[in-house]
């Protein structure tokens, strides 16, 4: 079978006169058109070959409501359309360049963005397979609930990736999810995508395609707030279709019914598909809530609601992390206790050593005092002996002098004794102290 056979609709090809003919070369022969695949609001899709003869998909910016082709070149339908057409081409190129930076296994890869024929093009990876719409509409294809869940989780990963890069897809539907040969989903068709922060210009609003059943009600209102929950509404509608075989009632009809106090025409899937887990069904119903605050707010939230295995392994990982933290804490406590004990021991040893040193110094001081006292006592005793000797000598001298001249001798005797005391003054003082048995100031 020729590459891209499954994606090719010959009737459509013939009916689209403005499409590039097979064999047309683009970008100085770097790409050669093989087949027309489809036409949408923003452009035309072709199967082509690159200079290395590889199959690629080429998307051409061709907003047919405001342009036409003339001798291969794309031009505004009229002067009035020129500004709008230029804005759309500019937007197409900018989006393509931004999307070329997004790389994810479940998002179609962009090879190249270029300009030719006065319009913009992007060359995409060719995904060999069929889209989810074909798959669910083919009675020979029966998706197992396990496969459905796996497709959903993988698309959610891709949506999480684009949302964290501030891009909204805005056209999620079964025909924009391709399923490759291995059953892996690939999200395509970012033609309606925009950065969350940017306001759609008037030209883009005019082109803004809504898909009944898949678009949330805010997509019908120009300039309305659109966020992650808007894309998740469309994903809910896509999986509602997978389960029930048809898209849910369109959101405008639902809003009108609620406004008129009539019951919401939406029939929940919860409780009707026993082959799916309750959490899986409940998440689809929640994503499809009419009012944005009631919906699932992020892909992560949806993944956590649905992925029981991941939840289980996340819980186990958490438990393991808690156990590791507990272990680290108790190890830390033990180490701290050890350090504190070592500190206390070191402190005790230090104070014992200090006590010993104090005792040693005290003993030393006592010994010094004892030695000093001993020396002083000895000096005092010496002083006594000298004093007594002096006295004896003085008495002798006095006796001798009084025998000759009693008055003169007395005076000289006293003088002599004073001069001896003054020579031994410190000892004399000490002697006086020790004799009195009182404490000494010298100790």
* Token duo for residue 53: 């003869």
- Paired with 124 in beta bridges are 57, 110
Residue whose CB is less far from Mg ion, 168 or 283: 168
Provide the 8-state DSSP code for 107: B
Query: Does residue 380 interact with ligand ATP by CB under 6 A?
Result: no
Query: Does residue 93 interact with ligand ATP by CB under 6 A?
Result: no
DSSP string, 314-360: HHHHHHHHHHHHHHHHHHHHHHHHHHHHHHHHHHHHHHHHHHHHHHH
Is the CB of residue 411 less than 8 Å from the CB of residue 341?
Answer: no
Among 122, 188, 193, 281, binds ligand ATP (CB under 6 A): 188
Residue reference for tokens 């008055």? 407
Q: Which of 116, 171, 189, 250 is catalytic?
A: 171
Query: Does residue 409 interact with Mg ion by CB under 5 A?
Result: no
Residue 45 binds which one of ligand ATP, Mg ion, none, with CB within 5 to 8 A depending on kind? ligand ATP
Q: Which residue is nearest to ligand ATP (CB)?
A: 40
Long-range contacts at 200-205 (CB < 8 A, ≥ 24 apart): 201/87, 201/91, 202/84, 203/66, 203/83, 203/84, 203/85, 203/87, 203/88, 203/91, 204/87, 204/88, 204/91
Query: Does residue 151 interact with ligand ATP by CB under 6 A?
Result: no
Among 24, 30, 41, 200, binds ligand ATP (CB under 6 A): 41
Query: Does residue 179 interact with ligand ATP by CB under 6 A?
Result: no
Query: Does residue 43 interact with ligand ATP by CB under 6 A?
Result: yes
Query: Does residue 126 interact with ligand ATP by CB under 6 A?
Result: yes
Residue whose CB is less far from ligand ATP, 24 or 298: 24
Torsion of CA 170, 175, 176, 181, to 10 degrees: 160
Query: Does residue 40 interact with ligand ATP by CB under 6 A?
Result: yes
Catalytic residue check, 134: no
Of the candidates 308, 151, 307, 181, the one whose C-alpha atom is nearest the C-alpha of residue 241 is: 151
Site for Mg ion in 356-395 (CB under 5 A): none
* Token duo for residue 287: 């994503």
Of the candidates 1, 9, 5, the one whose C-alpha atom is nearest the C-alpha of residue 44 is: 9
- What is residue 69's three-state secondary structure? strand
CB of 274 to ligand ATP, least distance (A): 32
**Phi/psi at 187 (5° precision):** -80, 130
Query: Does residue 232 interact with ligand ATP by CB under 6 A?
Result: no
Residue 287 binds which one of Mg ion, ligand ATP, none, with CB within 5 to 8 A depending on kind? none
Residue whose CB is less far from ligand ATP, 191 or 216: 191
Catalytic residues: 171
Q: Which stretches of the chain bind ligand ATP, using CB under 6 A?
A: 7, 37-43, 45, 57, 59, 108, 124-127, 131, 171, 175-176, 178, 188-189, 191
């Amino acid at each position: 079978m020729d590459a891209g056979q499954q994606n090719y609709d010959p009737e459509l090809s013939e009916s689209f006169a403005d499409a590039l003919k097979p064999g047309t070369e683009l970008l100085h022969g770097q790409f050669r058109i093989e087949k027309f695949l489809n036409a949408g609001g923003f452009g035309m899709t072709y199967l082509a070959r690159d200079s290395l003869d590889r199959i690629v998909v080429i998307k051409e910016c061709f907003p047919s409501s405001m342009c036409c082709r003339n001798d291969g070149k794309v031009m505004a339908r009229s002067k009035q359309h020129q500004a709008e057409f230029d804005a759309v081409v500019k937007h197409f190129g900018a989006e393509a360049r931004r999307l070329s930076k997004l790389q994810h296994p479940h998002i179609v890869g962009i090879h190249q963005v270029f300009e030719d024929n006065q319009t913009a093009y992007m060359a995409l990876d060719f995904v060999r397979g069929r889209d989810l719409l074909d798959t669910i509409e083919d009675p020979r294809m029966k998706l197992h609930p396990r496969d459905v869940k796996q497709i959903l989780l993988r698309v959610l990963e891709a949506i999480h990736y684009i949302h964290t890069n501030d891009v909204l897809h805005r056209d999620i539907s079964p025909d924009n999810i391709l399923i490759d040969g291995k059953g892996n989903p690939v999200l395509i068709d970012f033609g309606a995508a925009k950065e969350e922060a940017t306001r759609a210009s008037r030209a883009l609003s005019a082109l803004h395609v809504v898909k009944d059943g898949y678009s949330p009600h805010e997509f019908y209102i120009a300039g309305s707030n659109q966020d992650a929950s808007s894309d998740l509404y469309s994903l809910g509608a896509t999986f509602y279709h997978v389960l029930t075989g048809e898209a849910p009632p369109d959101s405008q009809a639902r809003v009108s019914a609620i406004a008129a106090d009539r019951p919401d025409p939406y029939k929940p899937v919860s409780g009707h598909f026993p082959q799916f887990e309750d959490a899986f069904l409940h998440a689809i119903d929640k994503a499809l809530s009419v009012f944005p605050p009631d919906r699932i707010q992020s892909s992560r939230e949806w993944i956590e609601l649905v992925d029981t295995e991941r939840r289980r392994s996340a819980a186990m990982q958490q438990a393991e992390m808690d156990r590791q933290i507990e272990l680290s804490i108790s190890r830390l406590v033990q180490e701290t206790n050890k350090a504190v004990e070592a500190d206390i021991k070191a402190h005790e040893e230090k104070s014992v050593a200090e006590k010993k040193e104090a005792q040693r110094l005290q003993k030393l001081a006592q010994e010094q005092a004892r030695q000093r006292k001993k020396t002083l006592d000895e000096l005092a005793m010496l002083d006594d002996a000298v004093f007594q000797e002096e006295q004896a000598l003085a008495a002798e001298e006095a006796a001798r002098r009084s025998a000759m001249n009693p008055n003169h001798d007395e005076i000289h005797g006293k003088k002599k004794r004073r001069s001896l005391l003054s020579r031994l003054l410190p000892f004399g003082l000490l002697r006086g102290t020790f004799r009195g048995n009182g404490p000494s100031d010298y100790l």
